[in-house]
Structure 1
């Protein structure tokens, strides 16, 4: 079942890449007592993800920080790929890269995408959510093949 506004972020372990190091943390520890925008991409290094989605948050990282909002980028990729992608895109340390290698967190959110037709297997749908203390306040899920509602500008507009 897909999460919705008002739901609490499910409890799942996920790998986080911060400052070149990987650690396993609980999803609740990433959201508890914090204001967070979590944005998900179908895959690191894929065209829209690398040309538009992640760059929109890199360019707006300071604007989120000024609002007291932390940024998390999620992909169903391993921690090594997420680390390499962050480095290649020069993502600031303020954007934590979540490696959901087996898709457990993505499935718990109910936002998985079967990309087998593209040779990619299970992936995350493209989405962004805003959560305050682990409760989802805003959820934007993209229609297949689109990039209209999950970018940084759309989420910043929700926070004003």
Structure 2
């Protein structure tokens, strides 16, 4: 638990801030954005990842799929995995990971607009070809960030690991 640090500054998305508004992300339809995270009520998680299919992300996200029921028991109604990828890629990744839990959603931030508005983008052009998301997990309740966990470096999966976030919700 001492390894978990809730961010309180340095980015736009921080404890006490509102989720960026007016930005729709793609879930099931690659042509039409349908999910606005600022319009979701209740308590949920936003799990920001640099890229679908990358080794760190493919080891990070399964923990949220596996622990979805335990998260629900702690009041988390849904988990939204947000990747700066196109919807074809995020859907193929969801299938590859075998995620069938209806409370775990894979969202394509294909233009990076949500990630940039959240202040959590970084230049990954050397490895991934464009700007990507820092690895983070935001606990959101009624459009306000209650807690946020951000990795120091994108390949790391320590503070944002599902087990750690689950423990912090205790």
Matched, 1:152 2:162: yes
Q: Which residue of 2 aligns with 1:115?
A: 124
Structure 2 CA distance for aligned equivalents of residues 119 and 20 of structure 1:
21
Aligned residue-pair number: 157
Q: What is the CA-CA distance between 1:19 and the residue it aligns to?
A: 10
User: Do 1:14 and 1:99's aligned partners in 2 also have CA atoms closer than 8 Å?
Assistant: no
User: Do 1:100 and 1:106's aligned partners in 2 also have CA atoms closer than 8 Å?
Assistant: yes
TM-score by length of 2: 0.85
After superposition, the C-alpha distances for 1:98-150 in whole angstroms (9 at most, x for unaligned) are 11000000001000011011142110001111011111111111011311111
Structure 1 CA distance for aligned equivalents of residues 125 and 53 of structure 2:
17
SS in 2 for 1:117: coil
Structure 2 CA distance for aligned equivalents of residues 138 and 106 of structure 1:
17
Where structure 1 has 5 or more consecutive residues not aligned to the other structure, the ranges are none
Instruction: Report the aligned-residue RMSD.
Output: 2.0
TM-score by length of 1: 0.90
SS in 1 for 2:167: helix
User: Do 2:42 and 2:142's aligned partners in 1 also have CA atoms closer than 8 Å?
Assistant: yes
Larger relative helix fraction: 1
Where structure 2 has 5 or more consecutive residues not aligned to the other structure, the ranges are 1-10
Q: Which residue of 1 aligns with 2:96?
A: 88
Structure 2 CA distance for aligned equivalents of residues 110 and 136 of structure 1:
14
User: Do 2:29 and 2:87's aligned partners in 1 also have CA atoms closer than 8 Å?
Assistant: no
